[in-house]
Amino acid sequence: MRVSRRALGIWAALAAAGLVCGGANWAVSQQAYPSRPIQLVIPYPPGGSDVLPRKLIVGMSQALGQPIVAVNKPGASTQIATQFVVTSPSDGYILYFSSPGELAAGPALFKSLSFNALTDLTPISYVAEAPFTLIAAASLPVKTYAELVAYIKANPDKVRFGSYGVQTQPDILARRFNLHIGADVQIIPYQGGSPTFNAMLAGEVNLVFATLIPTRSFIQAGQMRPIAIAASARVPLFPDLPTLKELGVDIVDAASFGLTGPKGLPAEVVARLHEATVGELNKPDIRKFVEDMGVVPVGSSPAELAARLKQMTEHWSEFAPKLGIQKQ
Query: Rg of the chain over CA atoms, in angstroms?
Result: 24
* The pairing of beta strand 94-98 with beta strand 254-262: antiparallel
> What is residue 58's predicted lDDT score, i.e. its pLDDT?
97
Is 90 in the same domain as 110?
A: yes
Among residues 229, 246, 281, the one where a domain terminates is 229
Within a domain: 14: no
Is 124 in the same domain as 259?
A: yes
Contact between residue 327 and residue 111 where contact means Cβ atoms under 8 Å apart:
yes
Is 268 in the same domain as 186?
A: no
> What is residue 276's predicted lDDT score, i.e. its pLDDT?
98
Is 219 in the same domain as 164?
A: yes
Within a domain: 267: yes
Structural domain tally of the chain? 2
Contact between residue 56 and residue 280 where contact means Cβ atoms under 8 Å apart:
yes
Which tens digit of pLDDT belongs to each residue from 183-233? 999 999 998 888 999 999 999 999 999 999 889 999 999 999 999 999 988
> What is residue 237's predicted lDDT score, i.e. its pLDDT?
85
Which tens digit of pLDDT belongs to each residue from 92-103? 999 999 989 889
> What is residue 145's predicted lDDT score, i.e. its pLDDT?
97
> What is residue 325's predicted lDDT score, i.e. its pLDDT?
79
Average pLDDT of the segment spanning 101-126 = 92
Is 138 in the same domain as 282?
A: no
Total Cβ atoms within 10 A of residue 83:
16
Which tens digit of pLDDT belongs to each residue from 275-323? 999 999 999 999 999 988 888 899 999 999 999 999 999 988 887 887 7
Is 49 in the same domain as 193?
A: no
Distance CA(328)–CA(69), nearest Å, equals 33
* Angle, helix 212-220 to helix 51-64, in steps of 10 degrees: 120
Within a domain: 95: yes
Is 125 in the same domain as 262?
A: yes
Is 124 in the same domain as 197?
A: no
Q: Which domain holds residue 98?
A: 38-129+255-322
Is 64 in the same domain as 207?
A: no
DSSP at 243 = B
Q: Report the largest interatomic distance among the alpha carbons of the chain, rounded to a whole angstrom.
A: 96
Is 55 in the same domain as 106?
A: yes
Average pLDDT of the segment spanning 147-176 = 93
What's the whole-model pTM score?
Answer: 0.76
Q: Domain holding 192: CATH number?
A: 3.40.190.10
